Amino acid sequence: MREIPGRRRRLLSRQKGGRSELIGAALTFATQWGWPVLPGVAADPEGRSRCACPDPECTVPGAHPFDPGLLAATTDERMVRWWWTNRPTAPIVLATGGSAPCAVSLPALPAARALAALDRDGMRLGPVVASDTRWSILVRPYSMEQLGDLLYAKDFVPGSLRFHGEGGYITLPPSETGRGPVRWERAPLPGSASPWVPDVEAVVDAVVDALTRTGVSAPEL
């Protein structure tokens, strides 16, 4: 039998461990927390920076719904178990809004500085999802009317802020995408109940204020 090179052997070992970790996480989100999830499209095995979907210019490789579509997101244990049994390395996609949290996201560097400023101010945050390029702060579900009123009342909102509400999605840890791993920057507290998340108004107010006070330039990414 031919010996598997050390680097590849370690990679295969991580992949095997990651498979059980992914299905375990997906089941926790769906069955314990009541968050509707579905498997995302994988990164292209021929090139991790590319996506396996038909779009050759996909901007979120391996980090979005494709087949099944977003409307298939569910909390059903049997469906979730079947999906990740058949697609064990698929990213975990959360359908935001409805019974699930929404999210406010911004580029990673401004996000790190904003969170540090919020910590100094004693601002309470819930879970924060991080990738190499963007961080997503989970918030309570909100309506488009609520978001519109919130943004209209502000003199300035950074263009790099993105809002993931009803009909939107984010990728959850411990997914691996074409742009690298997705992790918890602020992990949910242990327990069976769905994690606490703040109101969108509090997060947007605090993030915009922190970005303004720290003079952070938040480029569109």
Report phi then psi at 183, rounded to 5: -135, 170
- Residue 105 in tokens: 């996201």
pLDDT of residue 19: 62
Count of alpha carbons within 13 Å of 121, Cβ hemisphere only?
A: 18
pLDDT in tens, 153-174: 988 888 889 999 999 999 999 9
> What is residue 29's three-state secondary structure?
helix
Task: State the sign of the Cα–Cα–Cα–Cα dihedral 130, 135, 140, 144.
Answer: negative
Report phi then psi at 157, rounded to 5: -135, 120
CA distance 107 to 56: 23
191 confidence band (pLDDT: 50, 70, 90): confident
Q: How many CB atoms lie within 10 A of CB 59?
A: 11
pLDDT in tens, 20-60: 799 999 999 999 999 999 999 976 666 566 788 888 888 88
Cβ 178 vs Cβ 43: under 8 Å: yes
